[in-house]
Chain A
Amino acid sequence: MSLKDKLSELRQRGLADIKDSSDLKDVNQVRVQLLGKKGPITEVLRGMRDLDAEERPKVGAFANEIRDDLANALAQRKEELEKAVLNAQLAKETIDVTLPGTPVAKGEPHVIQQIVDQIEDLFLGMGYQVLSGPEVEEDKYNFEMMNLPKNHPARDMQDTFYITKEILMRTQTSPMQARTLEKHDFSKGPLKMISPGVVYRRDTDDPTHSHQFHQVEGLVIDKHITMADLKGTLQVLAHELFGDKFDVRLRPSYFPFTEPSVEADITCFNCGGKGCKVCKNTGWIEVLGAGMVHPNVLKMAGVDPDVYGGFAFGVGPDRFAMLKYGVDDIRNFYLNDVRFLTQFTKKG
């Protein structure tokens, strides 16, 4: 048998052994056997010195080739077996992915805050400032400068928590109209502001009344503001808060600080305008009061009503939240039951 034949046979046998090896230990054993210093290939190579000088390099090359083949086969087999071991391990590690995730501590913004923020962001985008005023107000700002002198009958419309004769809990965010108008420098540009905040009425708390609730006042004063601008602005507000499908309609109303005064209705949430119990079959729900700022309000704040004018509106976030989510008891907003607070989690 020539050396070459011996090598060929060695390769065949070696490859078969590698294939038969069943674990990493086996593979290692086979490697030592085949490629070790005392292994058959080393043996064969030792016999090379008996060959012709011409034959020697050829057989040498062949032997190297066989050694490489076997080494590759060993490496490949090793990898296969390692993979199998890993797979077995991973199979053992399988978990029930339907088990609940580990709870994380996470807080939610109050639903009314969410609505206020949404209104703020909308109006910030339209170039309005956001201003806040005192909750304990002077009668002067809450009423008198809003064109509600001391004996005005409309004062009976809103029951007021007085602290002294002249100091009260503000019943509306409207006093911020007067406070802002007094200060605004029209040479620097028009006045466009909203003023969100807490207001108070002398009411007994029940499902539809709360002695504390929220309002967002809006005010735009410039040289050429129209009632059509008011209508358009309220439309944008309704679309932002409720969706494009909601229409706005205006109805005459009465507020001492606006003239003309309107009440704004939007399409009923419950029936989409067809008429139902919620909207008393009208298809519409009253959501806010608005109007063109009364000249007396401008005058009292030192603004010339012959030059400047504009609109104001007052929105009730509590009412919006009640309508939008069907909240049936306004007290929910102020009792802070965690099961209530954590229902309004949608972001963005």
Chain B
Amino acid sequence: MKISYNWIKEYLDLNVKPVDLAEKIERTSVEVDGVTTPSDGLKKIVVGHVLSMEAHPDSDHLHVCQVDVGEDEPLQIVCGAPNVAAGQNVIVALPGSRIADNVKIKKSKMRGIPSAGMICALQEIGFSEDVVPKDYVDGIYVLPEDATPGDAVYDYLGMNDSLIDLDVTPNRGDMLSLYGTLHDLAAIYDKPVELDHPEVKEDGAAIADQLTIHVDEALSPQYRMRLVKNVKLAPSPMWLQIRLWNAGMRPINNVVDITNYIMMKYGQPLHAFDYDKFNGEDVYVRTAKAGEKLTTLDENDHDLDENDIVIADQKGPIALAGVMGGLDASIQDGTTTVAIESAVFEHDHIRKAAQRHNLHTDASQRFERGVNQAGVQEALDAAAQMMNELADGEVQKGSVVGSSNIPEPAVIDITLTHVNAILGTELTMDQVSHILESLGFEVTVSGDTLTVTVAVRRNDIHIPADLLEEIARIYGYDQLPATLPTGRMTMGTLTTKQRLMRATRHSLEGLGLNQAISYALTTEEKAKMFMMQASETTNLSWPMSMDHAVLRMNVVSGLLDDIAYNSARKVKDVALYEQGRVFYREDGNDRPSEEEHIAGAITGTLMPEAWNQAAQPVDFFQMKGIVAAYLKDMAVNGDVTYEPNTDMPEMHPGRTADVLVHGHRIGFLGQVHPLIAKQFKIGATYVFELNLQAIIDMPKQENQYDVISRYPAITRDIAMLVDDDVTNDQVVALIERRGGAFLQSVKLFDVYDGVKVPKGKKSLAYTLTYQDKHETLVDDAVTQAFDKVSKRLEDDLGAQIR
């Protein structure tokens, strides 16, 4: 809400600049979105009096005007506005002036006729289109008759005022009004504030004879009306129009403007009905019935919901209560009798109705947060008084009150000890009670206890903690000391799981992969790729886009999205890992379980091409090396093995392996299926994904010291031809099993299946290292063991030793 600096100053004797006031409000009450002065940036814009007007000889819509701008000679200005006329006072942008959007106005010629400046519409000097009075939206603005030619126009239009845009939090509905803001400022600046109160001059008949109200009090705890007869609709006086447009509201006519003005001043939304349009003399406040419809003031039709509160007459709804009035019973040309409504509606109904009908109005915003329930009648009276003063209306005797439940003020006990204990301050009883009183609360002190009676308008204050906030903010957060918690000691340590997760990241970074964080919400199709276990999908009930609609059940597909993003930007070498959760759901459960996973993806080359090194395209074994090194870092207890997996639909059937630890599958690695790669628009990509939670839960091998033998090792190389389907794992396992007591290691050093080996065979070559920890090994012993293992290879695997 935009609040006027000048209006505030009418009530509070403040000696601060608008920006400083705004800063103070932001530091003490609510956020401020900005301070604007409408005349800022404008230059040489004055009142002009149109002395005469002629048609432009070469145009059917331009006029040539002689305009008195307070100088010796009138200016000749060509104007295209349809509503310009001789005798008007208008807004003139002089030659050399600056209008809205920093536009400079110069002397010019229009279709051959010299024009010294411009006659302006309000929009042209910075007014937003939706606050310009309807009569002037499509033309120039006409200033009051008593405006003096040559004067700057700003004061006539309220443009020298400063407007402070408050961003009111949901708890501070009271700040959506001048009076509420004044109460806060009075406390902040510790100054008295004198608010004015209405005095209604009543005439005519008792309203009770003309109107009966039937209220469901659960929907409307207070519902009050006054009746004003013989109103004369007219534009509001300038001061009132200025208040409205500076607050962002369009002036309409005196009656409607008064209701908006009272809302800004008191925070109480009012509604004005044309009483003569009522069907009958009974008004009902009730929920809508099935099938009822209403056309609102903005000329939109609404099918009403049975939870909407409506104001109705005998025939049907005439207003969507607390949100917007209906068109039929609205104030229109010819209206003479006005029924003014001042009420409180149950906030939850209003909030939902505003949402349901997508009608977020100034009224609904206030009812949702709660209005000052002690000021409903006062606002009604103030409106009636103004309709009498500004529209010549006869205020009928009395108000008709359908319901009148004014809540008791909250009474809260709080001790000074508690205040200081929570805030960490050393405030005195006087300081605390003074702060609370300055907010308009009643305080009685007894010993250490303050009994605080909270003003009804502050419907956000119920408990001692609420009072603490009031005390703290008015005292000033800058004045709070800054300390650290003391008391019993606590240990701050990471859990084993957290340490392993950090170690996982450090390990993979050391292995050359960059950490990625991808979206956990993805498409249904991608969510279901690379599945490591069967699961139902978890879908958002109302996604923002189908790209982020389902929770992932794998991490790899997100990494492929990342690679695609890089690839589309010509970044061809990408090495990523991601640590994050996947979401598995069992049929029948609403909620998925969350499992920590670790995944990686590489494409292009891991080791980029350089002046001294050729690019080495990524392959299966690079990824396997990364996975193996990572699992070594994790020190999982038990053998890590890799078994071919030909069944994952998104993976290359011949280049994919399950990763097993001690026989338990913990994930997979391999090449993404070329068709899937094509679908993602990426090149050959190798990936892995492991169940990190499983790794965390596995027993670990502690580091151990193994004495390094002082005795020399002896090596023997062995090369053999085996059938293609004999695996390295089989060969190594056999050598290890049959290699004898002194075999230390078996290392593959060559694989060859080229032209020199028979079809269906491949050549494998290994180095076997023998060592005795306790004495120098005898050559004979090695030869014996080596011959034995060679024989076994021949017998068991059909190897031909070469």
Contacts and interface: CB of A to CB of B under 8 A. Distances in A.
A309 B422 contact: yes
Contacts of B704: none
Nearest to A335: B565
Contact of B29 (A99, A104, A189, A252): A252
Interface in B587-617: 590-592, 594, 606-608, 610-613
Interface string A216-238: 00001011111111011101100
A227 B543 contact: no
A226 B569 contact: no
Interface string B546-575: 001001000000010010011001010111
Given A107-B509, A164-B541, A211-B521, A294 B569 contact: no
Interface stretch (A19-27, A82-90, A174-182, A258-266): A258-266
Nearest to B490: A127
Given A161-B540, A163-B590, A339-B571, A223 B491 contact: no
Given A128-B490, A231-B480, A254-B171, A108 B514 contact: yes
B421 interface: yes
Main secondary structure of the interface of A (DSSP, over half): mixed
Contacts of B575: 105, 107, 338
Contacts of B590: 163-164, 166-167
A335 B562 CA distance: 6
A103 B608 contact: yes
B490 A336 contact: no
A136 B472 contact: no
B541 A128 contact: no
A45 B613 CA distance: 66
Interface stretch (A6-14, A32-40, A49-57, A197-205): A197-205
A183 B780 CA distance: 68
A334 B509 contact: no
B487 interface: yes
Given A200-B521, A211-B544, A337 B566 contact: yes
Interface stretch (B156-164, B463-471, B633-641): B463-471
Given A99-B611, A336-B562, A231 B477 contact: yes
A276 interface: no
Interface residues of A, number: 90
Given A130-B494, A227-B480, A109 B613 contact: no
Given A153-B347, A211-B548, A261-B469, A232 B483 contact: yes
Contact of B481 (A203, A204, A224, A228): A228
Given A127-B490, A232-B482, A153 B170 contact: yes
Interface stretch (B323-331, B400-408, B441-449, B576-584): B576-584
B673 interface: no
Nearest to B491: A127
B484 A126 contact: yes
B540 A253 contact: no
B754 interface: no
A250 interface: yes
A163 B483 contact: no
Interface in A134-148: 134-136, 138
Contacts of A262: 477
B423 A136 contact: no
Nearest to B606: A105
Given A153-B368, A166-B590, A107 B512 contact: yes
Given A108-B509, A110-B515, A333-B517, A295 B465 contact: yes
Can you list the 7 inter-chain pairs with the closest CB atoms, starting with the nearest? A228-B424, A105-B512, A226-B424, A260-B469, A254-B169, A124-B492, A250-B477
Interface of A: 99-100, 102-110, 112-113, 117, 120, 123-130, 134-136, 138, 151, 153-154, 156-157, 161-164, 166-167, 169, 189-190, 192, 198, 200, 202-204, 211-212, 220, 222-229, 231-233, 235-236, 249-254, 259-263, 280, 282, 292, 294-295, 309-310, 333-339, 341-342
Given A153-B351, A337-B566, A338-B574, 10 more contacts: A102-B612, A105-B512, A211-B519, A224-B487, A227-B423, A252-B30, A253-B31, A254-B169, A262-B477, A337-B571
19 contacts: A102-B613, A106-B509, A109-B515, A110-B515, A124-B494, A130-B494, A135-B594, A161-B543, A162-B541, A163-B540, A167-B591, A192-B485, A204-B545, A231-B477, A252-B29, A334-B519, A335-B565, A338-B573, A338-B575
